[in-house]
Structure 1
Amino acid sequence: MTEPTLVVVRNEVDSACEFHCDALEGLVPNAQAVDYPADERPDLEDADGVVLTGSTAGVYETDEYPWTEDQKRLVRELVDREIPTLGVCFGHQIANAALGGTVEAAETTSRPVEVTFEDGDEPLFDGLSPVVPATHGDVVTEPGDEMTVIASADYYRAFATRHRTAPLWTVQFHPEYTADLRARLEADFDWTEDERSLDDVNATRLVENFTAIVAERGNGERSAPL
């Protein structure tokens, strides 16, 4: 199986917090990174798949971060082209917002979260522990058009979503968070743990599963832009 070319769209606006983008990019084999807030844009002709990272920006802060509107257009193009896409945290929110969903500010969560996987046959969650690491202050209150909920938490219904026809998946949690990042998360995001901890998670498996999905699809299934 040929290793796919995956574009990692980095969305962090605070250079002091780029460690999460670095960690996610480090999980992606054959990654090609672009810094979206710095006006770098992906070449979709060479992309087998795309990963949208988290960010301390809010998708609704369009005056301060006008590039967010451009990224919404990117999401719609990815859907039209049927290029496999994974949205993480901010990526989850902007993908749903791009398709007509609603994102709102909420109480900050920074801890391991137990989730319910709505579809036991979802390949993205194959072998994934139901305890996942989350740091976020915004939530998707209404999924985008054609987006269906595939995982939920007790405080957050649309914790993960999937497009009904296009290869687009989004998750609120951070698959790149491991125990190696605990000290950084505590310092930057007031990370807390109780009976659940980063030692209980295997969220990096999500990126492995997404990469496998992209590889299985291959370039031949992609559609021309509309």
Structure 2
Amino acid sequence: MSTADAGKPNLYVVRNEPNPDREYHCDALASWFPDATEVDFVAGERVLLEEADGVVLTGSTAGVYEVDDRPWIAEAEELVRELVDRGIPTLGVCFGHQVVNSALGGTVEKVETTHALVEADLGDDPIFDGVAPVVVALHGDAVTELGDGLVAIASADHARIFGTRHRTAPLWTVQFHPEIEAEHREAIREAGDWDEREFSFADVTPGRVFENFERLAAERTTVDASETHETVETAGTPE
């Protein structure tokens, strides 16, 4: 556990984008966590697990199945397994959603590209508190088989597994992009086609998933600190 202030988790944002011309989504995600430590995983930077109270895994233009050409992906999967083992709160977004499932034995496949506002069926989970069902989808890969220990907590017409949660670890993933707002539309268009549908960015609740995750990580930090304090006091009490 870190030495973060009581109730305020020490968060890390793991950037997974190999293309410097497509980092807008990582920048957007990081902007929701101004106090977090950013880690450029592709460039070789790594999370200090002993100090982490929570980790957010960003999207990427890379595919998890490109592991032979991108060795850092195998290391990202190892990071996921370590986070689960240590019980460190983790949130995976898009590629983060995919690499979590792949790391735990699931399957990710290339599918038809979706760049649009879509309506999702969001389950009753605290990560979705206050989150509107209209979300931003920007992906051409999808989780087709769940990783071990994971359950689906969201779905969409074009993606059966649109979000997951671990049964025992504080781990959540979403295929959609909670960081994206209307201001990013031009950057999206530069990266690929944008499919205008019946929904509007006014229907989206950007950042709400991140607010929920930070709250959940803070609750975990508070509980861990309390348990550590109780253990120390008990150990120091004469019999």
If the length of structure 1 is used for normalisation, what is the TM-score?
Answer: 0.94
1:197 is displaced (CA, Å) by 2.3
If the length of structure 2 is used for normalisation, what is the TM-score?
Answer: 0.89
Q: Deviations over 1:149-178 (max 9, x none)?
A: 000001211100000000000000011100
User: 1:3 touches 1:30 (CA, 8 Å); kept in 2?
Assistant: no
What amino acid maps onto 1:2 in structure 2?
A: G
Structure number with greater Rg is: 2
The partner residue of 1:46 within 42, 51, 65 is: 51
The partner residue of 1:21 within 26, 36, 41 is: 26
Uncovered stretches (5+) of structure 1, i.e. residues with no partner: none
Report what 2:231 is aligned to.
none
1:63 is displaced (CA, Å) by 1.7
Q: Deviations over 1:162-207 (max 9, x none)?
A: 0000000000001110011112112223122221122210131100
The partner residue of 1:84 within 76, 89, 93 is: 89
Matched position secondary structure for 1:56 = coil
Q: Deviations over 1:14-52 (max 9, x none)?
A: 000011101100101411011011011110111110000
For 1:194 and 1:139, locate their aligned partners in 2 and report how far apart those are by CA, in whole Å: 21
User: 2:8 touches 2:221 (CA, 8 Å); kept in 1?
Assistant: no
What amino acid maps onto 1:209 in structure 2?
A: N
Q: Deviations over 1:73-102 (max 9, x none)?
A: 100000000000000000000000000000
Report what 1:12 is aligned to.
17
Report what 1:100 is aligned to.
105
Q: Deviations over 1:42-69 (max 9, x none)?
A: 1011111000000000001012111100
What amino acid maps onto 1:207 in structure 2?
A: F
For 2:44 and 2:198, locate their aligned partners in 1 and report how far apart those are by CA, in whole Å: 42
1:220 is displaced (CA, Å) by 4.9
- What are the equivalent positions in structure 2 for 1:1-226 lying under 5 Å apart? 2-118=7-123, 120=124, 122-218=125-221, 220-221=223-224
State, as a whole percentage, how many aligned pairs show the same letter: 57
Uncovered stretches (5+) of structure 2, i.e. residues with no partner: 1-5, 228-239
Flag as ranges the 4+ runs of structure 1 deviating above 6 A.
none
User: 1:89 touches 1:174 (CA, 8 Å); kept in 2?
Assistant: yes
Cα 1:82–1:42 shift into 2, 3 Å: same
Matched position secondary structure for 1:132 = strand
User: 1:149 touches 1:162 (CA, 8 Å); kept in 2?
Assistant: yes
Give the superposed CA RMSD: 1.4
For 1:209 and 1:82, locate their aligned partners in 2 and report how far apart those are by CA, in whole Å: 18
* Greater CA drift, 176-185 or 82-91: 176-185
For 1:108 and 1:194, locate their aligned partners in 2 and report how far apart those are by CA, in whole Å: 15
What amino acid maps onto 1:160 in structure 2?
A: G
